[in-house]
């Protein structure tokens, strides 16, 4: 497995260089896992991407670097100490940096670019150099570049890659992987794609990092995929639009990050009491308030499970990886329709912006749940039923009249203040949880069942924890397991109760208060013995978890 | 043929909402609408109870949030005749941002604001349209805020159909309602509505003297003239269709909706998903 860092200021083209490299390396057979560490600015600052590639599945970033592409001096300053002895730094010879190091390879990329006839192709020169350094052939360059570049600049960029290729010597061997047929997708795009697969017809949102990628992706495919995508005037409008569209029969979803979710909270309860299906995604970032806009955190769990006044059934699913991002979005749309409830998806910047290889999504047996077309006899929108689910008809599609009401209402949907009806309606709505509980997916167990240490996590720390467990078990000859929650509210408890006894339980979370641990304690009485908590806006890496556990000093 | 039925209400006897409800019923019937084709949307308030009292589809959502739900329902199913009935607090206060931006969005819905210049349901606090000096239990020294001029605001923000009516003149109200419902785009009607319980200033008697229908000679296509009329808010309050302009509505500009096939009737070909997946390989 190899790991390179591409760093520089915002606006220097890190994204483009990474996108080209990812595609070329995947075409050559590698599994790709790229994380993004960006500042909240359009120009300047220090940004970097970590591109890890290998011949087996990769689930975490790593700070041990085989190579650095430095677009500015700061990148060298900040990351040279992470470079292995065999590693290299590739940079332009014009770069001013204070460090002297034999591992630094200076190329006059600017001059080379000018010679090729386009000052903007220095990124492609670096790509060519990287290919050579890692023992890659130029075989796929034309094919891949054609799929990325506009035809006017295709030739110069291919020339630039060749020039870069010829300017360095090979350092590492090509490894043979079998992943060229895999998809390469970011978590947020996978959510968008899953939404399309789940029958989405309407998406409304107000831009907010890091959730905007979902909005932009859906907007880019909306016309083709039959999804009306509307940028709302604010998040309150966004969620109320989604509910209105859903009421009128269009599968609907809204997306934001924590700050926007705060504004949506009242309407979450509207979806609950009016029993209008809704999927809402919160792509988390560090709070409170504006927090760290482009960074990652898992601190909205306790917020979203209890957001909005009053009590109503809801489902919260934490997305763990690029498979969940797709399949759980489909499931969320189905569960929302089936139980006529709000379903909340929790993602975060780390998962949302990380591109990874995944096995092409299997859409052969997706079944979409649809509202009823018509009912026999008298129509009661909020009919009291055995399972709490009432017949949902679509206004205008049926000759019956359909009502939705945010006030407490009777079976017809008319306002009531009757204590008896209130009780019946509360019980009816809460009853839906019973069905939902039966469909909960237990957390995934990874590692050694007989081990004495059990790590607990949820959502995007899945990947880093998975890598950590694998490293730990290799190093220590077993002993470590992990339970990682996707479905998180209502909390599935079976495996928890089965696997926690007689083990040292450690929760690993990207927040300051251990929100999963506290939820588990509240719901089951199980307490964690130790915790690894990180809230600096940077995702914990598998290796960091390993050293925290082995070197001790846990809180 | 009376197709629409009204139900028992919880309004105070003599409330200005009654003539609005009855006028709406008549307007819908005269337009030949069927109850199941009509979706009545509201926020929360006394006015916002209107959908509960008429036999049509109804959506009573959140205070201030009627417009986003209404326009999105229309985006989902263009066949629905979508009508919003809500209060002045709901439409101009809590929902002020949606008011401005849905004028810009120009979705083909009708927005009737029951403007009683007071918060009725919450028992009489100042609303965005309350007169300066209006004393309430909150505005104990009299309302210090200048009242909003919704007609002027709507014209300035680019609305294509802007009217004012009064619940005291049902004949005019019905005729304006019919024009508004038929208007292809966002149609806005501010309806002067006495609140007999909490607004002792803007009473039936007050409106009777103040209301001043624009004459036959008013040309609603003349924007500058319309703005002039909109600014007349002294002793005489002009009513009628104050501004009207044909504008391309939201659906006709939207790639998926422009051909008139309701979104909920559209099927996405299965291959599209396969192609999208393929685009990541
Ligand atoms: C978020 C929220 N804030 C406040 C309220 C309380 N509230 C209900 S109706 C209303 C104002 C009603 O005034 P208006 O919209 O003019 O309607 P009216 O009752 O006068 O017809 C208020 C403040 C609420 N229901 N929801
Ligand atoms: S309080 Fe005013 S607006 Fe409300 S019902 Fe009574 S009279 Fe009508
Ligand atoms: Mg009012």
A224 with A346, same domain: the answer is yes
CA angle at B130 for the pair B128 and B132, rounded to the nearest 5° = 110
Q: How far is the CA of B203 from the centre of ligand 2 (A)?
A: 12
What's the pLDDT score for residue B2?
56
We report the CATH number of the domain holding residue A20 as 3.40.920.10
Residue A294 has pLDDT above 70, yes or no: yes
Cβ proximity of B175 and B183 under 8 Å: no
A384 with A449, same domain: the answer is no
Q: Are B281 and A245 in contact (CB < 8 Å)?
A: no
Interface test with B, best of A240, A337, A405, A407 (most B CBs within 10 A): A240
Contacts of A267 (CB under 8 A, 6+ apart): A236, A239, A240, A243, B61, B62, B65
Q: Which tokens in the block code for residue A214?
A: 């979902």
In chain A, pLDDT over 70 holds for what percent of residues? 99
The distance of A326 to chain B (nearest Cα, Å) reads 11
Q: How far is the CA of B174 from the centre of ligand 2 (A)?
A: 21
What's the pLDDT score for residue A39?
85
A202 with A339, same domain: the answer is yes
We report the CATH number of the domain holding residue B133 as 3.40.50.970
We report the CATH number of the domain holding residue A510 as 3.40.50.920
Q: Is the residue at A366 inside a domain?
A: no
A211 with A254, same domain: the answer is yes
Residue A43 has pLDDT above 60, yes or no: yes
Q: Are A245 and B76 in contact (CB < 8 Å)?
A: yes
Region of B253 please: left (phi>0), alpha (psi -120 to 50) or beta. alpha
- Exposure of B9 by Cβ count < 10 A (0-12 exposed, 13-18 middle, 19+ buried)? middle
If one residue of B86, B88, B119 were mutated to test the ligand 1 pocket, choosing by the most ligand atoms within 8 A of its CB, it would be: B119
- Residue A264 CA from chain centroid, whole number: 20
The distance of A437 to chain B (nearest Cα, Å) reads 28
Q: What is the mean pLDDT of residues A416-439?
A: 98
Full domain range(s) for residue A376: 371-439
Assessment of whether the complete model's pTM goes beyond 0.95: yes
We report the CATH number of the domain holding residue A323 as 3.40.50.970
Q: Are A241 and B68 in contact (CB < 8 Å)?
A: yes
- Exposure of B59 by Cβ count < 10 A (0-12 exposed, 13-18 middle, 19+ buried)? buried
Q: What is the mean pLDDT of residues A333-355?
A: 98
Mean pLDDT, chain B, rounded, equals 97
Which ligand 1 atom sits nearest the alpha carbon of residue B121? 19
Q: Which tokens in the block code for residue A287?
A: 């709070």
Backbone phi, then psi, for A356, in 5-degree steps? -145, 160
Q: How far is the CA of B73 from the centre of ligand 1 (A)?
A: 22
Helix axis angle, A187-197 to A322-339, nearest 10°? 40
A419 with A453, same domain: the answer is no
Q: Which residues of B touch A224 (CB under 8 A)?
A: 272, 275-276
Q: Is the residue at A177 inside a domain?
A: no
Q: Is the residue at A63 inside a domain?
A: yes
For ligand 3, a single-atom ion, the residues with CB < 5 A are B 87-89, 116, 120
B187-192, strands of its sheet edge to edge: A403-405, B57-60, B38-42, B81-87, B110-115, B187-192, B161-166, B237-244, B211-213
What's the pLDDT score for residue A555?
43
Q: Is the residue at A22 inside a domain?
A: yes
Stated as kind and residue range, the H or E segment containing A78 is helix A73-79
What's the pLDDT score for residue A542?
98
Mean pLDDT, chain A, rounded, equals 96
The three-state secondary structure class of A352 is helix
- Residue B162 CA from chain centroid, whole number: 10
A228-231, strands of its sheet edge to edge: A228-231, A202-205, A252-256, A278-284, A342-348, A315-318, A487-489
Q: What is the DSSP string of A19-57?
A: HHHHHHHHHTT-EEEEEEE--S-SSEEEEEEEEEEESS-
If one residue of B10, B14, B15, B53 were mutated to test the ligand 2 pocket, choosing by the most ligand atoms within 8 A of its CB, it would be: B15
- How many angstroms separate the most distant Cα atoms in chain B? 73
Cβ proximity of A387 and A434 under 8 Å: yes
Q: How many structural domains does chain B have?
A: 1
If one residue of B94, B118, B167, B198 were mutated to test the ligand 1 pocket, choosing by the most ligand atoms within 8 A of its CB, it would be: B94
What's the pLDDT score for residue B1?
47
Distances (CA, A) of A29 to A171, A185, A357, A388: 19, 16, 11, 51
A321 with A409, same domain: the answer is no
A143 with A102, same domain: the answer is yes
Q: Is the dihedral of CA B53, B54, B56, B59 positive or negative?
A: negative
Ligand 2 pocket member B21 (CB < 6 A): no
Ligand 2 pocket member B12 (CB < 6 A): yes
Q: Which tokens in the block code for residue A206?
A: 């107000």
Q: Which tokens in the block code for residue A147?
A: 């799929």
Q: What is the mean pLDDT of residues B46-55?
A: 98
What's the pLDDT score for residue B51?
98
A21 with A41, same domain: the answer is yes
At A495-536, the pLDDT tens digits run: 999 999 999 999 999 999 999 999 999 999 999 999 999 999
Q: Is the residue at A176 inside a domain?
A: no
Ligand 2 pocket member B15 (CB < 6 A): yes
Quickly state the pLDDT bin for B83 (edges 50, 70, 90): very high
b (16+ CB within 10 A) / e for A205-215: bbebbbbbbbb
At A263-272, the pLDDT tens digits run: 999 999 999 9
Interface test with A, best of B65, B91, B267 (most A CBs within 10 A): B65
* Ligand 2 atom 8, closest CA: B15
d(CA A273, CA A293): 32
Q: Is the residue at A171 inside a domain?
A: no
Q: State the first-to-last Cα distance of chain A, in angstroms, to the nearest integer.
A: 32
Which ligand 2 atom sits nearest the alpha carbon of residue B14? 7
Spell out the SS3 assignment of chain B: CCCCCECCCCCCCCCCHHHHHHHHHHHHHHCCCCHHHEEEEECCCCHHHHHHHECCEEEECCCCCHHHHHHHHHHHCCCCEEEEEEEHHHHHHHCHHHHHHHHHHCCCCEEEEEECCCECCCCCECCCCCCCCCCCCCCCCCCCCCCCCHHHHHHHHCCCEEEEEECCCHHHHHHHHHHHHHCCCCEEEEEECCCCCCCCCCCHHHHHHHEEECCCCCCCCCHHHHHHHHHCCCCCEEEEEEEECCCCCHHHHCCCCCCCCCHHHCCCCHHHHHHHHHCCC
CB half-sphere exposure, B119, CA atoms < 13 A: 21
Q: How many structural domains does chain A have?
A: 4
A211 with A129, same domain: the answer is no
The distance of B281 to chain A (nearest Cα, Å) reads 4
Residue A552 has pLDDT above 80, yes or no: no
Task: Name the nearest CA neighbour of B202 among B152, B147, B161.
Answer: B147
Residue B191 has pLDDT above 90, yes or no: yes
Stated as kind and residue range, the H or E segment containing A424 is helix A419-438
At A440-482, the pLDDT tens digits run: 999 999 999 999 999 999 999 999 999 999 999 999 999 999 9
Full domain range(s) for residue B84: 17-279
ipTM over 0.95 threshold: yes
A428 with A449, same domain: the answer is no
Task: Name the nearest CA neighbour of A49 among A15, A73, A88, A89.
Answer: A15
- Residue A247 CA from chain centroid, whole number: 28
Residue A99 has pLDDT above 80, yes or no: no
d(CA A182, CA A178): 9
At B200-236, the pLDDT tens digits run: 999 999 999 999 999 999 999 999 999 999 999 888 9
Q: Is the residue at A365 inside a domain?
A: no
Interface test with A, best of B11, B44, B46, B69 (most A CBs within 10 A): B69
What's the pLDDT score for residue A553?
57
Quickly state the pLDDT bin for A281 (edges 50, 70, 90): very high
Q: What is the mean pLDDT of residues A231-244?
A: 98
A111 with A215, same domain: the answer is no
Q: Is the residue at B150 inside a domain?
A: yes
A265 with A309, same domain: the answer is yes
Which of A106, A139, A166 finishes a domain? Answer: A166
Ligand 2 pocket member B64 (CB < 6 A): no
């Amino acid at each position: 497995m190899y790991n390179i860092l591409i760093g520089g200021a915002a606006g220097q083209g890190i994204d483009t260089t990474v996108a080209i490299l990812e595609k070329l390396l995947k075409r050559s057979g590698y599994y790709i896992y790229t994380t993004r560490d960006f500042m909240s600015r359009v120009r300047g600052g220090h940004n970097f991407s970590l591109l890890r590639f290998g011949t087996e599945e990769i689930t975490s970033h790593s700070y041990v670097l085989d190579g650095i592409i430095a677009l500015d001096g700061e990148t060298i300053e900040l990351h040279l100490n992470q470079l292995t002895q065999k590693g290299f730094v590739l940079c332009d010879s014009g770069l001013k940096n204070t460090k002297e190091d034999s591992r630094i390879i200076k190329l006059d990329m600017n001059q080379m670019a000018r010679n090729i006839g386009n000052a903007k192709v220095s990124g492609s020169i670096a790509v060519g150099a990287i290919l050579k350094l890692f023992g890659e052939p130029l075989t796929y360059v034309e094919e891949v570049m054609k799929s990325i570049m506009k035809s006017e600049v295709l030739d110069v960029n291919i020339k630039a890659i060749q020039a870069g290729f010829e300017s360095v010597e090979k350092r590492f061997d090509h490894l043979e992987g079998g992943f060229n047929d895999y998809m390469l997708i970011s978590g947020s795009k996978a959510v968008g794609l899953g939404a399309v697969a789940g029958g989405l017809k309407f998406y409304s949102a107000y831009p907010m990092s890091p959730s905007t990628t979902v909005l932009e992706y859906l907007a880019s495919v909306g016309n083709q995929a039959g999804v009306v995508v509307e940028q709302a005037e604010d998040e309150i409008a966004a969620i109320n639009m989604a509910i209105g569209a859903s009421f009128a029969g269009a599968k609907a979803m809204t997306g934001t990050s924590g700050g926007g979710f705060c504004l949506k909270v009242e309407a979450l309860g509207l979806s609950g009491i009016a029993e209008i299906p809704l999927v809402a995604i919160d792509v988390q970032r560090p709070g409170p308030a504006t927090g760290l806009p482009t960074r990652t955190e898992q601190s909205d769990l306790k917020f979203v499970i209890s957001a909005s006044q009053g009590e109503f059934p809801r489902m919260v699913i934490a997305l763990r990886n690029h498979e969940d991002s797709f399949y759980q979005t489909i499931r969320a749309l189905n569960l929302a329709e089936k139980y006529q409830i709000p379903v909340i998806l929790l993602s975060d910047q780390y998962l949302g912006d990380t591109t990874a290889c995944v096995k092409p999504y299997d859409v052969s047996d997706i079944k979409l749940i649809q509202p009823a077309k018509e009912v026999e006899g008298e129509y009661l929108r909020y009919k009291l039923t055995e399972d709490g689910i009432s017949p949902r008809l679509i206004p205008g599609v049926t000759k019956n009249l359909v009502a939705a009401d945010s006030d407490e209402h009777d079976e017809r949907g008319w306002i009531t203040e009757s204590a008896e009806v209130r009780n019946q309606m509360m019980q009816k709505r809460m009853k839906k949880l019973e069905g939902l509980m039966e469909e909960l997916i237990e957390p995934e167990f990874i590692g050694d069942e007989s081990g004495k240490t059990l790590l607990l996590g949820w959502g995007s720390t899945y990947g880093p924890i998975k890598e950590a467990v694998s490293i730990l078990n290799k190093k220590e000859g077993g002993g470590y397991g992990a339970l990682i929650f996707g479905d998180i509210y209502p909390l599935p408890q079976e495996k928890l109760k089965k696997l926690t006894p007689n083990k040292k339980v450690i929760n690993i979370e990207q927040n300051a208060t251990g929100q999963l641990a506290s939820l588990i304690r509240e719901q089951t009485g199980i307490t964690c013995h130790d915790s690894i908590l990180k809230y600096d806006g940077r995702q914990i890496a598998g290796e960091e978890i390993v050293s925290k556990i082995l070197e001790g000093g846990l809180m | 043929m009376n197709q629409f039925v009204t139900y028992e209400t919880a309004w105070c006897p003599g409330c200005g909402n009654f003539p609005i409800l009855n006028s709406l019923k008549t307007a819908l019937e005269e337009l030949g609408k069927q109850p199941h084709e009509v979706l009545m949307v509201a926020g929360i308030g006394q006015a916002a109870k209107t959908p509960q009292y008429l036999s049509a589809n109804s959506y009573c959502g959140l205070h201030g949030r009627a417009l986003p739900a209404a326009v999105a329902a229309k985006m989902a199913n263009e066949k629905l005749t979508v009508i919003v009935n809500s209060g002045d607090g709901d439409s101009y206060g809590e929902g002020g941002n949606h008011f401005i931006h849905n004028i810009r969005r120009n979705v083909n819905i009708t927005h009737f604001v029951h403007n009683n210049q007071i918060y009725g349901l919450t028992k009489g606090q100042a609303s965005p349209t309350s007169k300066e000096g209006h004393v309430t239990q909150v505005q104990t020294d009299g309302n210090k805020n200048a009242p909003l001029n919704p007609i002027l605001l709507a014209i300035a923000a680019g609305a294509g159909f802007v009217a004012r009516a009064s619940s005291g003149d049902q004949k005019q109200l019905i005729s304006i309602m019919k024009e508004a419902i038929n208007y292809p785009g966002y149609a806005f009607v501010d309806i002067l509505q006495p609140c007999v319980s909490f607004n002792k200033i803007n009473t039936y008697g007050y409106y009777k003297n103040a209301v001043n229908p624009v004459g036959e000679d008013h040309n609603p296509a003349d924007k500058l003239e319309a703005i002039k009329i909109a600014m007349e808010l002294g002793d005489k309050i002009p009513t009628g269709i104050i501004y009207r302009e044909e504008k391309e509505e939201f659906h006709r500009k939207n790639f998926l909706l422009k051909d008139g096939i309701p979104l909920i009737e559209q099927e996405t070909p299965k291959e599209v998903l396969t192609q999208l997946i393929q685009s990541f390989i």
